[in-house]
Amino acid sequence: MEIVKYPDRKDWKALTERATLDVTTLFDTVRGVLDDVRTQGDTALRKYEKLFDKVDLKELRVTPEEIQEAHALVPDELKQAILQAKQNIAAFHASQRFEGHKVQTAPGVTCWQKAVPIEKVGLYIPGGTAPLFSTVLMLAVPARIAGCREIVLCTPPNPEGKVHPAILYAADVAGVDCICKVGGSQAIAAMAYGTESVPKVYKIFGPGNQYVTAAKQWVSLREVAIDMPAGPSEVEVIADGNAHPEFIAADFLSQAEHGVDSQALLLTTEENIVPPVVEAIQKQLEALPRRDITEKALAHSRIIVLKDWAEVIDFTNLYAPEHLIIQTDNYQTLAEQVQNAGSIFMGPYTPESAGDYASGTNHTLPTNGYAHAYSGVNLDSFIKKMTFQEITPDGIAHLGDTIRTMAAHEHLDAHRNAVSVRLESLGKK
């Protein structure tokens, strides 16, 4: 963990560097898999599941019996938690519903937008030791609220050919239509192109390793939309002298445990809090099971002391953190000045883990500085806004010359003519 005091502005850029991987270098690796799945469908999926997930699958789709079994296997305490989280996520995302209204932009010219769900969406949920049922909720609950007609979920099975019951339970209660036992870049290909077992979708969501990310990027160039480019997770904590060192340390570590590439930054104007925070981090770290991962992530994490709040805000807007936790007396004022961040956690009793699981906000957020231009996943991610317009005969008579003049100066005569034939039919020139 690096501690930097009062850095010059010219050195700030270097302090915002993340550990990222250029997945474009993996395109050649994943394209073989993508092409195989596109041309050979389920046969290729079975081949790659055998190769990468060490499992020989007859049936690629999860059966209703397996879902019933999962309901019986998930402990009641976890079921209750999942249902509570689902309810809060649903409440927040339902509040984001878009209602367009008609606007008369000129006499007789009416324009409006309408939100229409993306018909078919695909969710990717990684495998590994931890079952990411929370991500199932974060993607499937808004998809259902948006009105997507078909929600497909792909996730790698374990070597016994099973999917973790908590993932199946969350997918079932969130309303996923079709769960397929496919992982890695072959899962992305399956949802992008469609196979006998896996329906083709129009947009793919969800986290994954570097091969999954490369495959998502590649298919997004032609076949499908994706949620956003992905990178390692990160948090920035802003704290003042009154912040609780234990809380800061806990938030720091809860980011660092995600993976060796994760990054945590602490920005403060008060150098006195640095020693107690460092001490609290050391103490809490000792009790953590994922200590190895966490220590590696701390190696490229930083505590940065700046001279005033204006510098803190400027640095934050430069870094554009995925998660931003503000634990200062003036947290409301500071939060209002942030221009670039994925999700902001305000005040001492708002840990990032609340938003990761259960407060209702989405945890799929822009990393790697993408918060400069991207929103996190929200209800908009599952819809598109179509525009409509209706023009009356009087409207085209009024607006016609404006259109014809512009078309003529862009040398687009047929565009001009499309107005002229209408004006002529109305007895105008």
Within residues 125-184, the interface with a copy of itself by CB under 8 A covers 129-134, 166
As beta bridge partners, residue 380 has: none
Q: Catalytic one among 236, 257, 311, 322? A: 322
As beta bridge partners, residue 121 has: 151, 203
Exactly one of 142, 183, 194, 342 binds a copy of itself (CB under 8 A); that residue is 342
Confirm or reject binding of residue 351 to a copy of itself (CB under 8 A): yes
Confirm or reject binding of residue 3 to a copy of itself (CB under 8 A): no
In sequence order, what are the residues at sequence separation of 6 or more whose Cβ sits closer than 8 angstroms to the Cβ of residue 257? 288, 290, 293, 294, 297
The three-class DSSP label of residue 153 is strand
- In angstroms, the CA 208 to CA 30 distance is 14
The count of chain residues that interact with a copy of itself, using the rule CB under 8 A, is 129
409 is catalytic: no
The three-point CA angle 206-211-213 to 5° equals: 35
**Nearer to a copy of itself (CB atom), residue 181 or residue 216:** 216
**Would you give the binding string for a copy of itself spanning residues 23-62, x where CB under 8 A is met?**
xx--------------------------------------
- In angstroms, the CA 241 to CA 259 distance is 29
Question: Which stretches within 95-147 are classed as H helix?
Answer: 133-146
**Nearer to a copy of itself (CB atom), residue 304 or residue 419:** 419
- In angstroms, the CA 97 to CA 281 distance is 41
Shortest Cβ 411–a copy of itself spacing (Å): 4
**Nearer to a copy of itself (CB atom), residue 46 or residue 134:** 134
Stretch near a copy of itself under the rule CB under 8 A, chosen from 22-30, 172-180, 266-274, 301-309: 22-30
Confirm or reject binding of residue 105 to a copy of itself (CB under 8 A): yes
Stretch near a copy of itself under the rule CB under 8 A, chosen from 152-160, 171-179, 303-311, 351-359: 351-359
Considering only residues 201 through 260, tell me which ones interact with a copy of itself, judged by CB under 8 A: 202-203, 217, 220-222, 224-225, 229, 244, 246-247, 250-251, 253-254, 256-258
Residue 122 backbone zone (phi > 0: left; psi -120 to 50: alpha; other: beta): beta
Name the helix (H) or strand (E) containing 405: helix 393-409
Q: DSSP assignment of 208-229, as one string?
A: --HHHHHHHHHHHTTT-EES--
Confirm or reject binding of residue 95 to a copy of itself (CB under 8 A): yes
Shortest Cβ 105–a copy of itself spacing (Å): 4
Strands (DSSP E) contained in 29-107 are 103-106
Confirm or reject binding of residue 411 to a copy of itself (CB under 8 A): yes
Confirm or reject binding of residue 371 to a copy of itself (CB under 8 A): yes
Are 274 and 304 a contacting pair, CB within 8 Å?
no
Shortest Cβ 6–a copy of itself spacing (Å): 25
Q: Catalytic one among 323, 352, 390, 424? A: 323
- In angstroms, the CA 232 to CA 123 distance is 19
**Nearer to a copy of itself (CB atom), residue 69 or residue 390:** 390
Considering only residues 281 through 340, tell me which ones interact with a copy of itself, judged by CB under 8 A: 284, 287-290, 294, 317, 335, 338-340
Confirm or reject binding of residue 406 to a copy of itself (CB under 8 A): yes
71 is catalytic: no
Are 294 and 288 a contacting pair, CB within 8 Å?
yes
Q: At 265, phi and psi to the nearest 5?
A: -120, 140
Considering only residues 383 through 402, tell me which ones interact with a copy of itself, judged by CB under 8 A: 384-393, 395-396, 399, 401-402
The three-point CA angle 127-130-136 to 5° equals: 70
Q: Which residues are the active-site residues?
A: 322-323
